[in-house]
A and B are shown apart, each in its own frame.
Chain A
Amino acid sequence: MNLFSRQVFKEPLFQFLIIGLVLLGGERLINAKDYSDDQYSIFIDDQLLAQFMQREAKSFKPEDALKTIQGLPLSERQRLIERYVQSEVLYREALGLNLERDDQIIRRRLMQKMDYLAQGFYDEKAPLTEVDLRAYYDTNREDYIRVATATFTHVFVASGKDLSWEKGETRALKLLKGLNAGQVPFENSGLYGERFLYNRNYVNRDDEEIASHFGLNFKQEMFSLVLSNPPDSLKWQGPLKSNYGWHLVLVTKKTPMYIPEFQDVSAAVLADAQRQQQREIKQLAIEMLISKYQIIDKTEPK
C-alpha cells in the first residue's frame, strides 16, 4: 500500500491530475462569485436589480436607479426580485432547452454582433497603393461617368399664357430669320426676346439641369442641334418648345456622356476603393471563421 501510494505519487499522470486539481480549485476560490452563479443558483445584488429595473422601465440613469433601489420599501423590492427571478429562470430554462437555436431574432442579433466585430479588422491592413487604385478604376470605370453637358444661349418668346402657342411660334420664326440674317453673336442674345425665368446663357450645364429648366423634350431636341462655331458658322436654330414658350437656340458646345481619366477622379476612386477594401477585409475575416468548420453537405441536388 505504502509502496503503491509512493509509486502513484511518482506517476506523471497523477502529478498532472493533482496540479490540475489545485489550479482548478484555486481558480474556483478566486472566482467564487462567478461560480455561485451556477446552474441552479441565482445571484442578486442591488447593482443587478438596478440594471434590471432600468431595462424594465426603458429608462437609463445609473445613479438614480441605484438610489431608487436602495430606497425601495421591502415589499416592492421583493416584487422586483420576484420579477427578476422569474425572467432569469425563464431565460436559463430556455437556454437549457436550446430554444435559442432556431430563433431567427436571436440568430440575427448574434450575427449582427459578429459582423460588427469583423469590421474591426480594417485598420490593420496596409494602405492602398496607386496600382491598387488604378486597378479598381479599371474595373469600375462606369461608376465615374460624367453626364452630358452643353453650352448654349437662347432667345425666349413666352407663349401659352398672354400669347397663344401658335402666335408665339409665328413670332419666334420671324425672330429666327432676323437673328440669322444679322448673324447675332452669342453674347448679344440678351438684346432679343423676353426674359426667361431661369438663365439666358447655359455654360457647360448638365443635361439634367437643362431638362429641369426647359423640360425633357427641349433637352433632347437641343442635344440634336448642330454646333455653331463662329466665325465660320453661326446658326440660330429652333424654335424649340419648353413648358414656358418657344426658344431660339445657339449651341456652341456639346459634350456627350464620358468616362473621365483616372487622374481626374482619383479622390473619388480612393474613397470608393477604401470602402471596397473594408468590405473585402470583413468578408475575409468571416471566411477565416468559416474555414474552421468542416461542412458536411448532404443536400441532394437533382
Chain B
Amino acid sequence: MKTIIIMLCAMASAMAGAEATKNVYFGDTHLHSSYSFDAFLNNNHSADPDAAYRWAKGQPVIHPYNRTRVQIGTPLDFLVVSDHAEMLGVMKAVREGTMIKEDLGWIGNIKRWYAFRLMNEAIDTDTGLQFFGQFLPKIATDKDHSDPVQNPSNNISRVNIFGDMTQTSKRAWDDIVESAERHNDPGTFTSLIGWEWSSIPMGANLHRIVITPDGADKSKQFLPYGSDQSQYPEDLWQWLDETQQRTGTRFIAIPHNSNISKGYMFDNTTLRGEPIDADYARRRIKWEPIVEVTQIKGDSETRSDFSPDDEFADFENYDHYIQQGKSEYKGSTADYIRPALKKGLAIEQDIGVNPYKFGLIGSTDAHSGLSSAEEGNFLGKMAKDSTPETKERVGSVSSSNGWNMSASGLAAVWAEENTREAIYAAFKRKEVYATSGPRLRVQMFAGWDFPENAAIAEDFGAIGNQYGVPMGGDLIATGEDNKAPSFLIRAVKGPVDANLDRVQVVKGWVDNNGQQQEKVYNVAWSDNRELSAEGELPDVGNTVDLRSGRYTNTIGQAELAVLWVDPDFNSGHSAFYYTRVLQIPTPRNGLLDSLALELDKPPRGPKTLQERAYTSPIWYQSQ
C-alpha cells in the first residue's frame, strides 16, 4: 500500500471558516469598445469604455448603431474592457481628426492621407466591414501545418501605412485605464484593466486577453503589447515577465476562440513546430491559468468528431475563420478544450509538466461596448448586427453573419468579495467556471470522505471545502488502491432563467496503452427520469412555443445536488473531472429575430438550445 497520505482535510478545516463565505460573481473579461479598430469600423462609434461600464452596472445606455435605449436585464458584478492592442484608438482618432501623426516623408504622408480617406469613405458609405477585411490575413494555403507566422503570405505590414501610432494609442490606453479607475467600486462593482493581443497568423486565431488586477499607477507605465510586436505567444509571455519585473504589474493571459485556431491553440508542439518542453509548459501554465471556452463566436468545449459518444457535443459550433475570403472549416483536437485537457495529461506523462492544466470561463467578445449574453436581450457581435434586419450583413469578410452569433457567455468566479484582488486570486486558483449566458450557480468539490448527507446539507460550501477541494484544484492519491474519489456537486438555476435538465461529470484520462480516453456521466437530473443500463437518460422535453418564442419552467428542476462516486476509478490513471450543467431547452436569439421578421425559421442556427455551464476541472494525480 502506498504511504503518501496528504493532510488535505486538516489543512482544509483550518481554512473552512474563510472558505465558507465565498460568493459567486458574474462578469465579462472580454469586451470591445469604440477604441477597437474593428469595432469602430463596424459601426460602434459611440460606445466607449464609459458606456460599457454604465451598461454593465445596469444603467440605460444608447445603442451605438440603432440609437435606441438599451439596458442589461441583470447587471454584471465585474467587467474588463479589453480592446485590441493593435491600432488601439486609431480609427476613432482618424475619424475625429485627432490622430497624432508621425512625419512619414512626402510619399508616406500622402499614402497615409489616402488610407485615412478610404477609411472615412468606408465609414460614410457603411462599408467599414469590407475596409476592415483588408487588415485580415489571407486564406491559408498551408498544407503541412508548419509555423504559420513564417508563411510567406502571412503579411501584416499593411498597417504600416498609418506610420507610428504609439502616441495616439497611448492616449487611448490612458482613457481606457482612467475609465476603469472611475468605475471600480470595491465591494459593489469591479473593473479590471486589460486588452487583447490579437495574433492571427494565416487566419489561425491565437488571440489572448491580458488582464491585470493592478491600477492606473502601474498600467500607465506600459502600452499594451500587440501582435504587431510579435505573433508568438512565447514573446507575449516574455513581455509580461519583463513588464512585471520592471513595473510590478501582475498579469494573466486568457486564450479564446481556440475553435477557429486552425489546429494551433492546443497543439502537440509550440507554434514554431518545436516539441513542448518542461520550460515551455511551465511558462504557459504560469501565464495562462484559464481559457475562455464559450463566447459569441461559438463554443470550444468539444465536437462530435472527437467526442462521438457525447450527445450534447457540437453545442453552438462556429465554423468560420477570421480571414480574407473563405476556406472550409476543419476542426482539430488542438482547437477544443476537452481534447486539450486530455492532451495535457499525455504531455505531462512525457515531460512532467501539464501545459494545458487550465480552468474555464466564458465571456462575450462583443464589439458593441455592450456585454450582452442574455438570449432574449442579445445585442449582437458587432454594433451593426444588433437588429433583426441587419443580422444578414451583405459582403461580410468572413463566411459568418449575425445569425451565426451565439448569445454567450459569462465568467463566474467564487471569491471572498467583489474586488480586483479577490477576483484575480480566483482566476489564479481556477475557482471559476463558464456559462453560456445564464446565471447558473455551480459548486463542485472532490474528496475521499464527504459526509453521507453532504448533498442536502445547509452548509454545502463549508462541507465541500472542509472535506474536499473546489473546482480548479488537485486531488492527491490516498494510497488506498480500491477507494474511489467522490464529487459533491450542486447546481442552481439563475433566478430569472430556465430550469435545469441535468448535471454531468466529464472525465478524461490516459489509459495503460497511452490512449487518451473520455467519458460523460449523468449524475443528477430532473423529473425522476430513469437512467438506462448504459447510463443514458431520456430527453427532458421541450416547452418552447415556436410561434411565440416563449418557454415555461414546467419541466426540469430549479436545483440539482448530488454526491457522486466515480464508478470506473483506476488509481493508476491521472485524470481530470469537470462538471457540465444543462438547462432545459429555451429559444435561441435567432428564433426570436426570425419571429420578429415573420420568417419560417432562422436563416442559420437552431431554433432552441440547451444553455449550459462548464466548471474548471479538478485533477486527480496518480502516484
Contacts and interface: CB of A to CB of B under 8 A. Distances in A.
Q: How large is the interface on B (under 10, 10 to 19, 20 to 34, 35 or more residues)?
A: 20 to 34
B134 A61 contact: yes
Contacts of A253: none
Interface in B114-129: 114-115, 118, 121-122, 124-125, 127
Contacts, number: 51
A33 interface: no
A113 B134 CA distance: 25
B495 A198 contact: yes
B50 interface: yes
A272 to B, nearest CB: 9
Contact of A58 (B395, B457, B558): B395
A267 interface: yes
Contacts of A55: 121, 125
B342 to A, nearest CB: 34
A213 B558 CA distance: 11
B175 to A, nearest CB: 13
B559 interface: yes
Contact of A212 (B115, B496, B558): B496
Interface in A33-80: 51, 54-55, 58-62
A85 B32 CA distance: 42
Contacts of A119: 96
Given A59-B130, A213-B495, A195 B118 contact: no
Nearest to A213: B495
Nearest to B558: A197
Contacts of B182: 267, 271
B456 interface: yes
Given A59-B130, A62-B114, A271-B182, 10 more contacts: A51-B118, A55-B125, A60-B130, A60-B134, A62-B118, A119-B96, A195-B460, A197-B492, A198-B492, A271-B54
B107 to A, nearest CB: 13
Q: How large is the interface on A (under 10, 10 to 19, 20 to 34, 35 or more residues)?
A: 20 to 34
A209 interface: yes
B131 interface: yes
Most chain B CB inside 10 Å of its own CB: which residue of A109, A197, A271: A197
Contacts of A195: 456-458, 460
The 6 closest A-B CB pairs, nearest first, are A212-B495, A197-B559, A197-B492, A60-B131, A61-B134, A212-B496
Contacts of A59: 130, 133-134
A172 B493 CA distance: 25
A212 B493 CA distance: 11
Contacts of B496: 212
Interface string A181-216: 000000000100001011010000000010011000
Contacts of A190: 458-459
A9 to B, nearest CB: 44
A267 B191 CA distance: 15
A120 interface: yes
